[in-house]
Amino acid sequence: MFIIGWVHAKYIWHGDILFTYSLFGILLLLFIRLRGKILMLLGMILYFVPNVIITVMMILASMVAGNGEFSLANETSARASYQAYQNGTYEEIREQRLMDWYLVNNPGNLFFMLFSIFPMFLIGGGAAKENWLRRVKELKRPFLVAIAITLLIGMFIKSTPYWLTRNWATEYSQDMLGGPLLSITYILLIALGTNHQRGIQVLRYFGPVGKLSFTNYLVQSIVSTMIFYSYGLGLYGQVSVIEGTFLALTIFLFQLIFSHIWIKYFYIGPFEWVWRTVSYWKWQKLMKRGENL
């Protein structure tokens, strides 16, 4: 994953997550012997305590400094990226891609990710150890309570930049607190869906996409960069939010159809096959020969 992530970031898309996930996956091995509840508690403390403190400090700073002109974007960097991706040569795009990747993945930010990304590994690992997804019926009531709490608080925090004021505090909190809380809501809703026959029938349509998640992720990058970068259709910066949403849904629909067809004839996706074969250093079974066809 580390190698594939680096190739992905260098030659396809700077927003790669595989490189970072591989590093934190290794770090998770140091904690994996802890009990599931301890892992989840540690992850929640590591995530929410620092981010709540930072949010409070930003609120206090905003109260002292007032609300002046606000922008999270670096205009100079944004213009350089826009020019390179829309009009640059492949080499110019590659250089810009590496610069944009380093802005996020430099050593300073990797330390910050210890309190933003790595806690999610701990929480997810703890939930897996506790077999939460296999105990949905047993945990239905706690799940419903958690959904109500995370939905209400998450929606409140996520909406503050729009009905309160837009400053560093509201923007930071809606990203770092509101977003994760709503993600918990969505995950638990999907988990509860597996407790009902109709929910299972709906979710079954998305099963093949999940089995090819690694492949679909990389294919999305390849297709999207060919649509937006200058060595493709060159539509970078020229697509509205509505058009972009429609485009994303269209790409996903094609992947949904492709995944259903692929999984009918193969056990796993092509990139999953490469990843597992190299990881286990053993030739993995790929094609179904007369089975379930």
pLDDT band at 69 (very low <50, low <70, confident <90, very high): low
Output the CA–CA distances (angstroms, integers) from residue 266 to 1, 138, 146, 270, in the order listed: 21, 35, 38, 9
Q: Which residue has the higher pLDDT, 36 or 58?
A: 36
Burial of 97 from C-beta contacts in 10 A (0-12 / 13-18 / 19+): buried
Contacts for 288 with CB less than 8 Å, ≥ 6 apart? 264, 265, 266, 267
Helices 90-105 and 2-11 sit at what angle, rounded to 10 degrees? 130
Q: 228 with 236: CB under 8 angstroms?
A: yes
Cβ(15)–Cβ(225) under 8 Å? Answer: no
Q: How far is Cα 164 from Cα 183, in angstroms, rounded to an integer?
A: 22
Contact in structure between 273 and 284 (CB atoms under 8 Å): yes
State how far the Cα of 216 lies from the Cα of 198, in Å rounded to an integer: 26
For residues 275 and 216, give the distance between their C-alpha atoms in angstroms, rounded to a whole number.
14
Q: pLDDT value at position 79?
A: 85
Q: What does the pLDDT look like over 173-219, one tens digit per residue?
A: 999 999 999 999 999 999 999 988 898 999 999 999 999 999 999 99
Q: In Å, how far are 18, 27, 38 from 21, measured between CA atoms?
A: 5, 10, 21
- For all residues of the chain together, what is the average pLDDT? 91
Model pLDDT for residues 145-161, shown as the tens digit of each residue: 999 999 999 999 999 98
Q: Looking at 35-39, 110-114, 255-259, 271-275, which range is the least confident one?
A: 110-114
Distances 167 to 56, 67, 71 between C-alpha atoms, Å: 13, 7, 8
Distance between CA atoms of residues 113 and 19, nearest Å: 13
Is 33's pLDDT higher than 70? yes
